[in-house]
Amino acid sequence: MSIVVDQITKYYGSQKALDKVSFNIQEGEIVGFLGPNGAGKSTMMRILTTYLNPDEGHGTVNGHDLITASKAVRSSIGYLPEQNPLYPEMYVREYLQFSASVYALSDVQHRIDTIIGETGLDSHAHKKISELSKGYKQRVGLANALLHQPKVLILDEPTTGLDPNQLVGIRQLIRKVGQHTTILLSTHIMQEVEAMCDRVIIINKGKIVADDYLADLKSDAVQEIEVEFDYKVEPELLQQINKVREVEDLIKQQGFYYRLKFETTEDMRSAVFDFAHDNELRILALNKRNKNLESMFQELTKD
């Protein structure tokens, strides 16, 4: 197991930032750690990188205990914090050389050349860090985090502040790195998870509220059916449709629209038609859509 988190709790004074958080991450997974601002993502990442100790609970990274073997944890992970700490006055290659000296690497020059190539920095290696765009600064941060070939990479909000083109580039790079590295990346953007991850762990107010593989999420999708009738129907009546969980009265300019939510993989359209027929309701339009990660996230993290 690459990462084991077992019942971790963390307080800042009297404020509980993490509340009995548990999850495991297997080798080779790319996992999105998703949650609104203040949910506890950075706190969890600081604990996994041993910059903070948990108040309760345990964890390991690459088999090393977070508290009793913190040095071994740190040397086996790559970490890109939210505020990418670069030295603006240094040149890219010089900076990577400086970082490499910390890790007693053998064949440093070869390793630096390789990582410069892998992170797409070839044409920027001779530039000053302060001259680089935000996207290229992130590439330097990633190159730095990957220098010592860690088995686990921890990225805190790696795409914050990037423009759409830079975003695409960094996402591709993270996917590529993920082919041979376990990655845990935090974000508050749902699309980010869909673009890069195999699995999503959702945290809200310090507690895990979902932990699923994206493929499963899509097939388990909660179903919503929007239906238009030719006159007003009491939502209480629609609530009687088999397996309906929620009925929303949608106010539209013209017409009588309702959104019916079902928690089933079975296609409920014919059930809605049958119900309308049995109750002498006339359907003018009916539209089914599967629930996406974005609406699931909103539901799980709303107050």
Q: Supply 222's token pair.
A: 């909660």
User: Is there binding between residue 35 and ligand ADP (CB under 6 A)?
Assistant: yes
CB 158 within 8 A of CB 144: no
Q: Which is nearer to ligand ADP, 17 or 197 (CB)?
A: 17
- Closest C-alpha among 209, 203, 222, 207 to residue 293: 222
Q: Which of 3, 5, 8, 17 binds ligand ADP (CB under 6 A)?
A: 17
Here's the x/- map for ligand ADP, 37-66, by CB under 6 A: it reads as: xxxxxxx-----------------------
Structure tokens at 146: 């990957």
Strand partners, 250: 257
Residue with tokens 């960094």: 170
Cβ-based nearer residue to ligand ADP, 32 or 120:
32
Does residue 12 belong to the site contacting ligand ADP (CB under 6 A)?
A: yes
Q: In the complex with ligand ADP, which residue's Cβ is closer, 42 or 144?
A: 42
Instruction: Judge whether 221 and 290 are in contact, CB under 8 Å.
Output: yes
Cβ proximity to ligand ADP: between 181 and 186 the closer is: 186
How many residues belong to the chain? 303
Q: Are residues 280 and 213 in contact, defined by beta-carbon separation less than 8 angstroms? A: no
Q: Which stretch binds ligand ADP (CB under 6 A): 10-18, 145-153, 207-215, 284-292?
A: 10-18
Smallest gap from Cβ 228 to ligand ADP, in A, equals 40
Which CB atom, from 21 or from 145, has the smaller least distance to ligand ADP?
21
Nearer Cβ to ligand ADP, position 38 or 63? 38
Nearest distance from residue 242's CB to ligand ADP, in Å? 39
Decide if residue 204 touches ligand ADP (CB under 6 A).
no
Strand-pair category, 256-262 with 244-250: antiparallel
Which residue carries 């604990």 as its tokens? 47
- In this structure, the strands spanning 30-34 and 182-187 are parallel
Spell out the residues 6+ positions from residue 224 whose beta carbon is closer than 8 angstroms to its own.
Answer: 259, 260, 261, 262, 288, 289, 290, 291
Provide, rounded to whole angstroms, the least separation between the CB of residue 197 and ligand ADP. Answer: 17
Size of the site for ligand ADP (CB under 6 A): 11
- In terms of CB distance, is 23 or 229 closer to ligand ADP? 23
Least CB distance to ligand ADP at residue 223 (A): 30
- Say how far apart CA 74 and CA 64 lie, in whole Å: 9
Site residues (vs ligand ADP, CB under 6 A):
12, 15, 17, 35, 37-43
